Amino acid sequence: MTDFPPGQGRKDALLIATGTYDDGTLGRLRSPAQDCAGLEAVLADPRIGGFRTQRIEDAPAHRTMRAIESFFRDRGRDDLLLLHLSCHGIKDEDGRLHFAARDTDRDLPASTAVPAAFLRERMERCRARTVVLLLDCCYSGAFLPGAKGDDRIPVRDELGGHGRAVLTATSRTEYAWEGEHIESTVPQPSLFTGALIEGLRTGAADLNGDGRITVTEWYDYVYESLHRAGARQRPRMWAELEYQVTIARAVPGSGLGPGAGEPGGPDPAEAGIDTGARREEDTYPRPRRQRGRDTVLPVEFELRETALGTIKEIAIDTKAVCPGCSGSGAARGSEPEECGGCGGCGERRETSSGHRGDISVWVVCAACRGHGTVLPETCPECRGDGRVESGRTLEFLVPAGIEHGTRMQLTGEGEAGPGGGPAGDLYVEIVQLPHSTFERIGDDLHCILTLPHAASETETTVTLDTLDGEKTIRVPAGVRDGQTLRLANRGTRHLTEDGRGHILVHIELKD
């Protein structure tokens, strides 16, 4: 596989975010705007992506389609184009994919949403030989109303093709659980886009250390990041490329990508990186006492539990403060000592010879791993980490009306931090199990009642097992096939206000 020739074409990115919808059945998404803002920052950075960027937020379908068509028009052969879509994914009755816009009517996707077929046609007609498409929609799980996507959509058939790379992921609405009420947290990028951003921002997606981040490295980094975070989502990638596509330069916190300044590595001067001094954002020496990582834990719930609320008890395996050293990592009677390799700085200069002369760079001290101190004797129980594996039981309140895919933030319930640092947060992801009778759409519960045609001639009553026990439904004479009967205030409780949704019974007449 050959490399994509640098400098011969333009690099442009179009970032489309839709989090607010006029259609009430399309739940509001908080992450898309933050997704696009964060991704734009690293793509537009001349040291990293060097893309010219355009961002569109909460636009109606016609404006979104116009922006997409304009983006792919009048392109040169060697242009590199990147399109990022963060929104609800929906499908029509034939299973065809559409991307929801602000004014999308879920029942009329062909005329009010952005069809994937339209996007594919624009890509096929575009002269640019390289197009990278990022879909921050839900493709890893079965489709549920209000979820961000549909797993049954054939993404490769819809959008794959020669000269393209398509990356997809799951993203969900998040809330924070605070005391006895639920509040939206500060908007954060979705896990998928957040990992995309972090891989470019830190340079960590440069997996082979050659100073460049290719689209396949980018995907591999994101996949592994989500896997380590315990996320249920599994990003997917389809690529039909005859050459390596370099998305960005690797620019980690030290100011240089992996391998920079080493024999055979990339030339920092060519990358436009200043190697003469420390960068202001460097944070060495790093303290041994650090905050623990956040943890995402999917937990399954029955419909009754999410609709009416419950108290849940779960068993979790996590890292707790080591009892032998109280988190310090040092053996009893010993204390951390200043590192002799770096004099306590956590980093040191190294000089190597390149084809443009000697290059001096700052590197993390290998002896102390950037901490500036070393442990003369480590704790035998935790081997210097300050933490040990531990299991415990946690009980928490699940508010009535919470939706599938919601994440509840339990502050300080994640893993303990290294060196005795504060614990991270635990995010409980709500997984609502399918119900044998009802389908939940928003706060309403839908079910199908099948009756013989003869039953429609006279008034009749039927018994329905609801969340509140058995209820009698009166079916009037002359009821029609497809008619809907309503049991008011018997659905899911509203999450942020008083009252409940309804039970909607859809009549199906059969011979």
User: pLDDT per position in the chain (511 positions), as tens?
Assistant: 444 444 468 999 999 999 889 987 777 777 788 888 899 999 999 999 999 999 999 999 999 999 999 999 999 888 999 999 988 888 777 767 788 999 999 889 989 999 988 998 898 889 888 899 998 865 322 222 223 333 333 444 444 445 678 887 653 333 333 333 334 444 556 778 888 999 999 999 998 888 899 998 998 898 888 777 766 566 777 776 656 788 999 875 433 333 333 333 333 333 333 333 343 334 678 888 888 888 888 899 999 999 999 999 999 988 999 999 999 999 998 988 999 989 999 888 877 665 556 666 778 898 898 899 999 999 999 999 999 999 999 999 999 999 887 888 888 898 999 988 899 888 888 888 999 999 998 899 999 999 998 887 889 899 999 999 999 999 999 999 999 999 999 999 998 888 999 999 999 998 7
- Is residue 294 within 8 Å of 337, Cβ to Cβ? no
255: tokens are: 């100011």
Q: Cα 289 from chain centroid?
A: 28
Owner of token pair 């989090």: 19
| 131 within 8 A of 140, measured Cβ to Cβ | no
Burial 183-212 (b: 16+ CB within 10 A, else e): eeeeeebbbbbbbbbbbbbbbbbbbeebbb
Number of Cβ atoms within 10 Å of the Cβ of 482:
9
pLDDT score for 231:
62
Distance CA 493, CA 305 (A): 11
Phi and psi of 121, rounded to 5°? -65, -40
| Residues pairing with 212 in the sheet | 249
Contact 409, 176 (CB under 8 A): yes
How far are the Cα atoms of 29, 35, 36, 54 from residue 17, in angstroms, in the given order?
A: 10, 8, 6, 11
Confidence at residue 149, expressed as pLDDT on a 0 to 100 scale? 38
Half-sphere exposure of 8 (CA within 13 A, CB side): 11
3-state secondary structure of 229: coil
Assigned token pair, 166: 């398509």
The secondary structure element, H or E, covering residue 42 is: helix 31-44
Residue type, 225: S
CA distance 468 to 336: 61
Pairing of strands 11-17, 246-249: unpaired
Q: Determine the residue type at 503.
A: I
Query: Which pair of tokens denotes residue 205?
Result: 């997606």
For the entire predicted model, the pTM comes to 0.51
